[in-house]
Amino acid sequence: MYPEQLHTFSFDRIIGRSPVMRETLNLARRVAESEVSCVLLQGESGTGKDCLAKAIHYASKRAHAPFVAINCAALPSNLIESELFGHEKGAFTDAKSRKEGLLEQADGGTILLDEISELDINLQAKLLRVLEEGTLRRVGGLKDVPFTARLMAASNRDLKNETETGRFRLDLYYRLAVIQLVIAPLRQRGDDVLLLAEHCLRSFGERMGRKNIRGLAPEVSRAFKLYDWPGNVRELRNVIERALVLEDGDIISARSLPEGMLPAEPGAGSRFARLSLLNTDALLSLPPDGISLDELETSLLKQALARSNGNQTRAAKLLGLTRDQFRYRWKKFRETSRPRLVAVGGSHN
């Protein structure tokens, strides 16, 4: 199994040529080569945090040892402590024998704690002790057991914000965030969406007996570029799989897309109609010297707010966005424009 896993989860199999993904993957490779004890993976749901964690593990010196993953949100609160730390015989009513926890089973390898923000605050304190002291104690146990695994924690929430609300321990956050890897949402990854769509077409087409489908129709490619993909790569995979079932021809057409992603008959005022009338992939001409997309987006957000007298719902409508999409972009602009003080120093055990 090991050679197969080494190939399946290699960095070379992660699709991403956009600048933001190249930067993330370059940092991830450096993490794999290092012996850093803790890594924090952050990104929206469906961006592939688990895939990146596996790539790091199988590219590291720990590849021969176990990779153990647990979703902290999937286990009842009364079971997760025993699952993580293990228990001794007789520690509680159903503890009929000693059990090694997942932290212990990952000996010398990697453990991924997905959705770590869902971990109970008391268990957060116990996990911090494990990371600080390099030992753990089973439930009902009297002796400490060495902890030698690399711990990766993943969350689709901003853990720093969670500390400010008291839902996540600040000391644990700083211990986990020795290295932070932020996986960008699909809407910020440019042409990666088309590369991923082509990959899904090939892999799903072969599995579903639809090898005859050659690719995406031009209007579908444009729709994919414009769509916000709130479910990220997971949603894209579902859209492609659905289209392979519904498509009658040899190319994915607009009629095979979910309702709302691309209207079958776009109205005269829609973004897709304007694109069709212009017969181009872009609404604006790129200046010879280039342009900053962040500055352009910020300018459009400000103009839309000014034209709508500060009403975010109307501003969102002007830009063809939902109110939540507009608020996400406005929050991102506010955060990047806010001056920050950065303290350098300190040490980790």
Domain at 243, CATH number: 1.10.8.60
Say what the pLDDT of residue 270 is: 44
345: in domain: no
Say what the pLDDT of residue 253 is: 92
Mean pLDDT of 228-238: 93
- Give the pLDDT band (50/70/90) at residue 211: confident
286: in domain: no
Same domain, 166 and 83: yes
Let me know if 105 is exposed, middle or buried by CB neighbors in 10 A (0-12, 13-18, 19+).
middle
Express the helix, strand and coil content of the chain in percent, nearest 5 each.
50, 10, 40
Say what the pLDDT of residue 271 is: 46
346: in domain: no
Q: Is the dihedral of CA 313, 319, 320, 323 positive or negative?
A: negative
Cα gap 233→45, rounded to integer Å? 9
Q: Is the dihedral of CA 78, 81, 86, 91 positive or negative?
A: negative
Let me know if 28 is exposed, middle or buried by CB neighbors in 10 A (0-12, 13-18, 19+).
buried
103: in domain: yes
Query: What is the average pLDDT score of the chain?
Result: 83
- On the question of pLDDT at 207 being above 80, the answer is yes
Say what the pLDDT of residue 262 is: 61
Better-scored residue on pLDDT, 309 or 55: 55
Same domain, 122 and 34: yes
Same domain, 251 and 299: no
- On the question of pLDDT at 209 being above 90, the answer is no
Mean pLDDT of 168-194: 93
Least confident of 37-41, 163-167, 220-224, 293-297: 293-297
Say what the pLDDT of residue 8 is: 67
Cα gap 84→139, rounded to integer Å? 10
- Give the pLDDT band (50/70/90) at residue 65: very high
Residue partners of 204: CB distance under 8 A and separation at least 6: 210, 237, 240, 241, 244
Mean pLDDT of 305-333: 79
Same domain, 197 and 315: no
Cα gap 44→331, rounded to integer Å? 15
Answer whether 122's CB lies under 8 Å from 172's CB. Answer: no
Answer whether 97's CB lies under 8 Å from 54's CB. Answer: no
Same domain, 331 and 247: no
| pLDDT tens-digit map of 96-118 | 788 888 999 999 999 999 999 99
Same domain, 29 and 112: yes
349: in domain: no
194 C-beta neighbours (distance < 10 Å), count: 15
Same domain, 164 and 69: yes
Distance in Å from the first CA to the final CA of the chain: 34
Share of the chain above pLDDT 90, in %: 51
Q: Per the structure block, which two tokens stand in for 189? A: 């990854």
Q: Per the structure block, which two tokens stand in for 51? A: 């895939």
323: in domain: yes
Better-scored residue on pLDDT, 239 or 345: 239
Name the phi and psi angles at 314, rounded to 5: -70, -35
- On the question of pLDDT at 95 being above 80, the answer is no
Same domain, 57 and 73: yes
- On the question of pLDDT at 21 being above 50, the answer is yes
Mean pLDDT of 228-233: 92
Same domain, 37 and 133: yes
- On the question of pLDDT at 205 being above 90, the answer is no
Ranges of beta strands (E only) in 89-160 are 99-100, 110-114, 135-136, 145-146, 150-155
Alpha carbon of residue 223 to chain centroid: 22
Which structural domain, as residue segments, surrounds residue 8?
Answer: 2-184
Angle at 181 between CA 126 and CA 70, to 5 degrees: 45
Say what the pLDDT of residue 93 is: 75
Angle at 112 between CA 106 and CA 117, to 5 degrees: 135
Angle at 9 between CA 7 and CA 12, to 5 degrees: 75
80 C-beta neighbours (distance < 10 Å), count: 21
Say what the pLDDT of residue 269 is: 44
Say what the pLDDT of residue 272 is: 45
Mean pLDDT of 56-61: 96
Same domain, 117 and 172: yes
Say what the pLDDT of residue 162 is: 94
- Give the pLDDT band (50/70/90) at residue 136: very high
| pLDDT tens-digit map of 264-316 | 444 444 444 444 434 444 455 566 667 777 777 888 888 887 777 777 888 88
Same domain, 21 and 38: yes
From residue 87, alpha-carbon distances to 46, 99, 134, 136, 268 in Å are: 33, 5, 18, 11, 65
The domain boundary residue, chosen from 163, 184, 205: 184
Same domain, 223 and 176: no
Say what the pLDDT of residue 266 is: 44
260: in domain: yes
Mean pLDDT of 166-187: 94
Measuring CA to CA, which residue among 179, 129, 183 is closest to residue 152? Answer: 179
- On the question of pLDDT at 25 being above 70, the answer is yes
The domain boundary residue, chosen from 162, 184, 206: 184
Residue partners of 90: CB distance under 8 A and separation at least 6: 140
68: in domain: yes
Name the phi and psi angles at 100, rounded to 5: -75, 135
Cα gap 32→57, rounded to integer Å? 7
Cα gap 142→113, rounded to integer Å? 25
Better-scored residue on pLDDT, 134 or 142: 134
Cα gap 115→4, rounded to integer Å? 27
Total number of domains in the chain: 3
Q: Per the structure block, which two tokens stand in for 345? A: 């120093």
